[in-house]
Structure 1
Amino acid sequence: MDDKHLQEPTVSTKKIFEGKIISLQIDTVTLPNGKQATREIVRHPGAVAILAITNENRVILVRQFRKACGRSLVEIPAGKLEPGEDPAECAKRELLEETGYRAENWRHLHSMFTSPGFADELIHLYVATGLTMGEQQLDADEFLDLMKADRAEVERLLATDEIADAKTITALYWWMKELAKAGKE
């Protein structure tokens, strides 16, 4: 792919904020036309998300309050990568911590940038099957409700905007397409 004519080389970087999860910087770049512009960039260590499917074709979901959105959302289990952590191992850890489930089968479905216009967060989406229930191991600052949903319930949650985040929507539309292909609607 020849995209050299679209690239924006960095002239300078100014660090604005360094937090526990994200950092913010302003880069001055040279545009393809030779002019300069600034880019506000959020740096994030990356994350995983897990589409956990039971033997009864129900998905495991969590409902939690999201301060940035100002409301609770229903989502697939997910979590932040620790420095140097393998995404597949992180997915196993996060599924167990948030839901108590372990999975026998794992498949990497896709990796996607969540908001590439201003953030470098890359989220790795996994499908987990062959589930066995254990005990949740939530972080001290983590509060959520665990749910199981069939296709009809997922469609209701989507229609009522209780599911409204990109990773969950992406995963669930993939799952519903797979159900339709298998004739399990």
Structure 2
Amino acid sequence: MNFEEKTVKTNHIFSGKIIQLQVDDVLLPNGEMSKRELIKHPGAVAIIAMTENNKLVMVKQYRKPLEKTLVEIPAGKLEEGESPEITALRELEEETGYTTNHLQYITSFYTSPGFADEIIYVYFTDELTLLEEKKQLDEDEFVELMTISLDDAEELIQSQDIHDAKTVFAIQYLKAKGWK
């Protein structure tokens, strides 16, 4: 069976700094019409960064949509024309004060394919160097740097201080690769 939905009409609702919202009228495979509310996003990166003493580099920050503070791996939005690897290095430097000469691409995945096209590219490094001069965060970004063990990270999952898919993925990835 062909599951494709053909877009008949697009109504652009909102265009902001991070997302665009649109409502599409679509022709379903059974010939009926329906509406789809869609969020368009430029994509993002996330970095699994391990220190030389096997600690995971994390950031703590407030997430307004959830009205709570989360502990997450460093991550950020792709800028127009910027490759995911360049974005990953920039975000690592801005959010953590570390840099690296070795970023390994791990995978990418869609965050919420039912309504958004956001894709996250995940990178790994265990070759960190502390920057001599820390880079500036975005003017509306406030983060606290943390380095934690995988055991501590698993406890933070249980307490829901870590409660986002990319960070849970990172911890499971490291466990599967034999990190302790």
**C-alpha distance after superposition, 1:35-68 (max 9, x if no partner):** 0110000000111000001111111000000000
Q: Aligned residues, how many?
A: 178
Distance in 1, matches of 2:169 and 2:154, equals 13
Match for residue 115 of structure 1? Answer: 112
Structure 2 length-normalised TM? 0.96
> What's the C-alpha RMSD, in Å, of the aligned pairs?
1.1
Alignment of 1:1-185 (within 5 A): 5-134=2-131, 135-179=134-178, 184-185=179-180
Structure 2 CA distance, aligned partners of 1:141 and 1:57?
Answer: 31
Distance 2:142 2:52 in 1: 26
Structure 1 window deviating more from structure 2 (168-177 vs 61-70): it is 168-177
Residues 92-128 of structure 1: CA distance to partner in whole angstroms, max 9, x if unpaired?
0000000010113211111110000000001100002
Deviation, structure 1 residue 178: 1.1
**Offset at residue 139 of structure 1 (A):** 1.4
Displacement, 1:136?
A: 4.4
CA distance in 1, matches of 2:150, 2:140: 31
> What CA distance in whole angstroms lies between the structure 2 residues aligned with 1:152 and 1:87?
29
Q: Can you give the 5+ residue segments of structure 1 that lack an aligned partner in the other structure?
A: none
AA partner of residue 61 (structure 2): Q
Mind listing any 5+ residue stretches in structure 2 that lack a counterpart?
A: none
One-letter code aligned to 2:105:
H
Instruction: Supply the AA of the counterpart residue of 2:103.
Output: W
SS in 2 for 1:98: helix
Secondary structure of 2:102 counterpart: strand
CA distance in 1, matches of 2:116, 2:105: 22
User: Does structure 2 conserve the Cα–Cα contact (< 8 Å) formed by 1:109 and 1:125?
Assistant: yes
Amino acid at match of 1:11: V
Verify the 8 A CA contact 1:100 1:137 in the aligned structure 2.
Answer: no
- TM-score of the pair, normalised by structure 1: 0.93
After TM superposition, where is structure 1 displaced by more than 6 Å over at least 4 residues in a row?
A: none
CA contact 1:11–1:29 (8 Å) conserved in 2 = yes
Over the matched positions of the two proteins, sequence identity in percent amounts to 48
